Amino acid sequence: MKNLFQSKSFKVLLGAGFVLLGLLLLTASSGGGALSDALGVVTGSMQKVTTVVANNAAVLAGDVTASVDELQAENAALRRQIDELNAQLVDYYQVKLENEQYRSVLELKDDNPDFQFVSAAVIGRDPNELFGGFYIEQGSNAGISVNDPVITNSGVVGWVSSVTSSYSRVTTVLSPDTSIAAVNKVTRESGAVSSDLLSAEAGTVTLRYLSAGTETQPGDIIVTSGLGGIYPKDLPIGRVVSVGPEEYDVSYSAVVEPFADVATVRDVFVITDFEGQGDVLADLTGPADAEAEP
């Protein structure tokens, strides 16, 4: 009980009681008008406060509505700017890619003035393709034909095996359908580069038909010989990894690692014309012209 009398709540209640008692006494001595006047003052003040609060709330609501509209307009403007910047970025990368391609073409052109090139980007790969074949964005409308050689700055990639008006399919050096007349740049020994499933899985090709007394050694550079009319001469193919006898033949062969990584290549050059193109020897060509793929 002692704690109750000493509590803050009790003191507040006691104070309110004294105020109420004072009002009653004032009313008793002055009549009911004094209480009415006091209540009128309090009520008027409350009305003023209520009016001010309501007016401020209305102004605030209007400001919030205006702010929302402004933010929406700013967001729309920012989205338009972002779209414009994205378009410019796409254009930038396209121009950058084209400049790199043109620079590479000029370098190749300086070394091979008789070459005619078409640059193209890889646009699709078949995940079920065991030999790395892919599609490029250019076709017959750009002057590309079946059997045209496909290269990069690094070396031979393969050849065009089918063409539509707007895109082409490339069969790579890892395919058994590819056969390239080749020569060892160091020893001048000649042979034919081909591949099979086991070689393709290892990412290599094989230089076949070397003599038993071959001087070819690991590290030698293998290039195209120009025979066959499919590939011009001196295009880099790859580097010799090992040399050994053929399993079912008296000749030797060399395992060659291609310079161009056909699994990751993104941009290529198609040689549409060169000196000696079409001078085909039957045993050195790829397969006959294939029908255009859908």
Model confidence over 20-57: pLDDT tens digits?
A: 556 555 555 555 555 555 555 545 555 665 565 556 55
Residues making up the chain, counted from first to last:
294
Residue 290: its pLDDT value, please? 40
State how far the Cα of 187 lies from the Cα of 221, in Å rounded to an integer: 9
Sequence-ordered list of residues with C-beta below 8 angstroms from that of 275, at least 6 positions apart, any chain? 114, 232
Residue 286: its pLDDT value, please? 43
The segment(s) of the chain belonging to CATH 2.40.10.350 are 116-284
| 157: amino acid identity, one letter | V
**Model confidence pLDDT, tens digit, residues 204-263:** 999 999 998 999 999 999 999 999 888 999 999 999 999 999 877 788 999 999 999 999
Nearest-CA neighbor of 210 among 187, 190, 185? 190
State how far the Cα of 174 lies from the Cα of 224, in Å rounded to an integer: 15
What is the token pair recorded at 174? 């890892």
Residue 81: its pLDDT value, please? 77
SS3 state of residue 231: coil
pTM reported for the whole predicted model: 0.62
In the predicted model, what is the mean pLDDT of residues 270-281? 80
Residue 287: its pLDDT value, please? 42
| 161: amino acid identity, one letter | S
**Model confidence pLDDT, tens digit, residues 83-134:** 777 766 665 555 555 555 555 555 666 677 888 889 999 999 988 889 999 9
State how far the Cα of 239 lies from the Cα of 205, in Å rounded to an integer: 10
42 or 78, which is more confident: 78
74 or 283, which is more confident: 74
Given a contact cutoff of 8 angstroms between Cβ atoms, the answer to whether 162 and 293 are in contact is yes
Max avg pLDDT among 154-168, 244-258, 263-277: 154-168
224 bridge partner residues: 182
**Model confidence pLDDT, tens digit, residues 47-67:** 665 565 556 555 555 555 667
Superfamily of domain 116-284: Rod shape-determining protein MreC, domain 2 (2.40.10.350)
Q: Model confidence at 289, in pLDDT bands (50, 70, 90)?
A: very low
State how far the Cα of 174 lies from the Cα of 132, in Å rounded to an integer: 7
Place of tokens 């890619």: 97
Question: Does residue 80 have a pLDDT over 70?
Answer: yes
Under DSSP, the state recorded for 140 is G
| 217: amino acid identity, one letter | Q
Sequence-ordered list of residues with C-beta below 8 angstroms from that of 191, at least 6 positions apart, any chain? 182, 183, 184, 207, 208, 209, 210, 253, 254
Residue 126: its pLDDT value, please? 85
Residue 79: its pLDDT value, please? 78
State how far the Cα of 229 lies from the Cα of 49, in Å rounded to an integer: 99
User: Distance between alpha carbon 220 and the CA centroid of its chain, in Å?
Assistant: 36
Ramachandran area for residue 223 (φ above 0: left; ψ -120 to 50: alpha; else beta): beta
Residue 292: its pLDDT value, please? 36
Given a contact cutoff of 8 angstroms between Cβ atoms, the answer to whether 218 and 207 are in contact is no
Torsion of CA 197, 283, 263, 260, to 10 degrees: 130
Sequence-ordered list of residues with C-beta below 8 angstroms from that of 118, at least 6 positions apart, any chain? 138, 142, 143, 144, 269, 270, 272
Instruction: Please count the other Cβ atoms lying within 10 Å of the Cβ belonging to residue 188.
Output: 9
Nearest-CA neighbor of 27 among 15, 43, 39, 12? 39
Q: Model confidence at 70, in pLDDT bands (50, 70, 90)?
A: confident
Residue 250: its pLDDT value, please? 81
